[in-house]
Structure 1
Amino acid sequence: MDATPGTDHPALTAQLGDIAMGFFYASALRAVAVHRVADHLAGGPLQPDELGRRAGLHGPTLRRVLRLLATRGVFQEDGQGAFGLTPSAELLRTDVPGSAHSGMVWITEEVFQRSAAGLEDALRTGVTPFDAAYGMPFFDYLRTDAEAQARFDTGMAAMSGPEDEIVAEAYAFPATGTVVDVGGGRGGLLRAVLTRNPGLSGVLFDQEQTVATHLLDVKETAGRWRTDGGSFFEAVTPGGDLYLLKHILHDWNDEDCLRILRAIRAAIVPGGTLLAVDAILPPGNDPHFAKMVDIIMLACLRGRERTEEEFRSLLGEAGFRVNRIVPTETFSSIIEAVAV
């Protein structure tokens, strides 16, 4: 196949340029999210000067930023030059169910920008860009900064929150028993599982400072949950009938994943079930969100996204047998494994 651009040269150059300038879109998105611009448009479209007055911003500059975001479907400009919300922009409001606001603020923070900028050196050295920029691994850094840890917890809860309901619906959970959500953050997934399955009880297992801000205290789950703080590298809550691992394995390299999985294997009875919720890298050149997340893992952590065969091998080495893979409406799948 001829790989030369031919007559498509201008279009291909524009495509490359769009990729190259992508960080400006991210910076524009962060700017309006930090200043909570979408909140001021809840009542309807506004002229940039009036919107700027209400938000304490410079109207002419705000217009230019909103105009750029409107080209990506975030906000829209009407025939009179006023800007209003689109479905995407609605999610930037802080007062709507499923708000993505804190997630967008978190993922556009300087730590990610610096890490992404380090990919150039990482190609030569193989060193994780975050480690090179900050002198320590990502999660060690969070332990040195309580505010960053809190932003991480709320940001991850916001970004994964919509997925929790989908995962809870996609899998046929048992009618009774105890579910242990390992590294479950603030408990969004466990809450969704317990709400849908009133015969289940649950344990939220994560670091002490994280479970302290849990989301489980709602009437639908009353009396059916507890929290447990600790390190999943050392030991996890024993006695569960089913263990959950949502977006945990992709954070770590194979060696660290085996430490986590073996801690769970030591806590689970033979025949017990582990559900690993993660993306499965597809073959080929088609776009898939997991391929972007894999680069985030490369830039910021020591983890990676994995193929189906890589998951089977990893789980098998830790004492689990993959029974089946359940797709979901999100980019992730549910990998059902049995302790052998």
Structure 2
Amino acid sequence: MASDQPRMPPPGLVRAVELVRSGLSVAYRKLVPGQVAVMEMLAAGWLTQAIHAAAELGVADALADGPRSGAELATAVGADEDALHRLLRLLIGHGIFTRRRDGRYALTPMARALRRDADVSLRDAALFFGCAIHRENWSHLVDAVRTGKPVGPALHGMSFFEHARADRGLGTLFDNAMTSIGSLGLAPLLAAYDFAQFETLVDVAGGEGTMLAEILCRAPRSKGILFELPEVAESASSRLGELGLAGRCAVERGSFFDAVPQGGDAYILKHILHDWPEDDAGRILTSVRAAMKPDARLLIIELVVPENTRPHPGKYIDLEMLVNTGGRERSADEYREFLARFGFTLSRIVPTVSPDNILEAVPA
């Protein structure tokens, strides 16, 4: 499990490159007629569906052993050769797949991210974001904007998380997507923050323990507690046992709305608070605050929305939360105020080379 931690560029350098990229995008949009720029943005949804189709067909997996001709690839994935060519022609223009001079299709670094067995695979994320239910929910964005409420109760008679529990096809798709996305920012988090300084880390709603396991493998003197719902905890226990961490990592069951394990030196909430409406997110913070020692720290891993007009992943995901869960992304000032309401002081924000930040808070 404990792979060598990859070298990461300085977060400041990454932000500088992002600034240049944003500036070039702004310059391009100012050069072309406004309606042309808007039409290009409207077509972005088609690209999402094209990536979803390639993931659903398993094109990247079919090319894992090397380049293939169009006929060979179409046979391997069960597709019409001409239609597959048209799909790949679009994706190739965006750097996803390539076509060699001999006409055979091959993987690119971005295409490898759609393989099932990639070290950091986004295949499951592509399947979820392109699925019919996700598309249906987003088609009601205007309703969410009008009401300020997620669309699930009106469309399906239940909240998104209730829907995911009731429809295990959707639930599995969502769980796999979140695991997929979670692995995307794991290495940057481990490179940016010294988790080994804590004797006991409590990962609240940490899924099957992927992040906590990586932390413990890099911090051999630390112990962990994974806190999850009963239906997740069983598989998490098996996974941690397979990794040889059963003796250093306990798995406790329960709901973070009721209580969380006591006695930790650090409590981790990774991509949790943004999922929930304000009152529910506050209940989670109240549970964590009640369990913490005076000198313990709360580590919130979330995107922090910048106070500028440039594009940022948090501004997209904020609408994802509005549509599906009723949660929200927050700026640094919003987090500072929100945490203060529930007995915390935001002490610092640690940037990473990914969009994620580590917000370190202490009991007030």
Structure 1 and Structure 2 fold alike (TM over 0.5): yes
Q: 1:293 aligns with which of 290, 302, 317?
A: 317
Alpha-carbon distance change, 9 to 178 in structure 1, aligned in 2, over 3 angstroms: closer
Distance 2:323 2:353 in 1: 27
Which residue does the alignment assign to 2:329? Answer: 305
Deviates more, 1:24-33 or 1:242-251: 24-33
Counting matched residue pairs gives 334
Q: CA deviation at 1:317?
A: 1.2
Q: CA deviation at 1:332?
A: 1.2
Alpha-carbon distance change, 77 to 121 in structure 1, aligned in 2, over 3 angstroms: same
Which residue does the alignment assign to 1:90? Answer: 112
Alpha-carbon distance change, 132 to 21 in structure 1, aligned in 2, over 3 angstroms: farther
Q: Which amino acid aligns with 1:61?
A: A
Is residue 2:297 matched to residue 1:268?
A: no
Q: CA deviation at 1:176?
A: 4.8
**SS of match in other structure, 2:133:** helix
Q: CA deviation at 1:228?
A: 1.6
Is residue 2:61 matched to residue 1:39?
A: yes
Q: CA deviation at 1:296?
A: 0.7
Distance 2:147 2:74 in 1: 45
Is residue 2:211 matched to residue 1:189?
A: yes
Distance 1:128 1:175 in 2: 39
Alpha-carbon distance change, 175 to 187 in structure 1, aligned in 2, over 3 angstroms: same
- The residue correspondences of 1:225-264 to structure 2 (distance < 5 A) are 225-264=249-288
Q: CA deviation at 1:281?
A: 0.7
> Higher relative contact order by CA 8 Å / sep ≥ 6: 1 or 2?
2
Contact in 2 for aligned 1:180/1:205 (Cα 8 Å): yes
Which deviations, in whole Å up to 9, do the C-alpha atoms of 1:174-201 show, x marking residues without a partner?
Answer: 4452111011112121112111111111
Q: Which amino acid aligns with 1:112?
A: H
Which residue does the alignment assign to 1:153? Answer: 175
Which residue does the alignment assign to 2:361? Answer: 337
**SS of match in other structure, 2:96:** coil
**SS of match in other structure, 1:213:** helix
Alpha-carbon distance change, 153 to 212 in structure 1, aligned in 2, over 3 angstroms: farther
Which residue does the alignment assign to 2:87? Answer: 65
Which residue does the alignment assign to 1:76? Answer: 98
- The residue correspondences of 1:20-59 to structure 2 (distance < 5 A) are 20-59=42-81
Which residue does the alignment assign to 1:167? Answer: 189
Distance 2:172 2:289 in 1: 30
Which residue does the alignment assign to 1:108? Answer: 130
Alpha-carbon distance change, 10 to 286 in structure 1, aligned in 2, over 3 angstroms: closer
Q: CA deviation at 1:263?
A: 0.3
Contact in 1 for aligned 2:295/2:363 (Cα 8 Å): yes
Which residue does the alignment assign to 1:140? Answer: 162
Q: CA deviation at 1:61?
A: 0.7
Which deviations, in whole Å up to 9, do the C-alpha atoms of 1:63-92 show, x marking residues without a partner?
Answer: 101111111111112233322111010111
Q: Which amino acid aligns with 1:221?
A: L
TM-score computed with the length of structure 2 as normaliser = 0.87
Q: CA deviation at 1:129?
A: 2.4
Alpha-carbon distance change, 319 to 223 in structure 1, aligned in 2, over 3 angstroms: same
Contact in 1 for aligned 2:199/2:222 (Cα 8 Å): yes
Deviates more, 1:15-24 or 1:77-86: 77-86
**Structure 2: gaps (5+ residues):** 1-28
Is residue 2:307 matched to residue 1:279?
A: no
Q: 1:209 aligns with which of 196, 219, 231?
A: 231
Contact in 2 for aligned 1:165/1:189 (Cα 8 Å): no
**Structure 1: gaps (5+ residues):** 1-6
Which residue does the alignment assign to 1:323? Answer: 347
Which residue does the alignment assign to 1:4? Answer: none
Q: CA deviation at 1:52?
A: 0.6
Q: CA deviation at 1:239?
A: 1.7
Distance 1:146 1:249 in 2: 23
**SS of match in other structure, 2:180:** helix
Q: Which amino acid aligns with 1:289?
A: P
Q: CA deviation at 1:210?
A: 2.0
Contact in 2 for aligned 1:114/1:133 (Cα 8 Å): no
Identity %: 36
Q: CA deviation at 1:219?
A: 4.0
Which deviations, in whole Å up to 9, do the C-alpha atoms of 1:130-187 show, x marking residues without a partner?
Answer: 3332221111111212232222222211111131232123112244521110111121
Is residue 2:127 matched to residue 1:122?
A: no
Distance 1:256 1:47 in 2: 53
Distance 2:36 2:234 in 1: 48
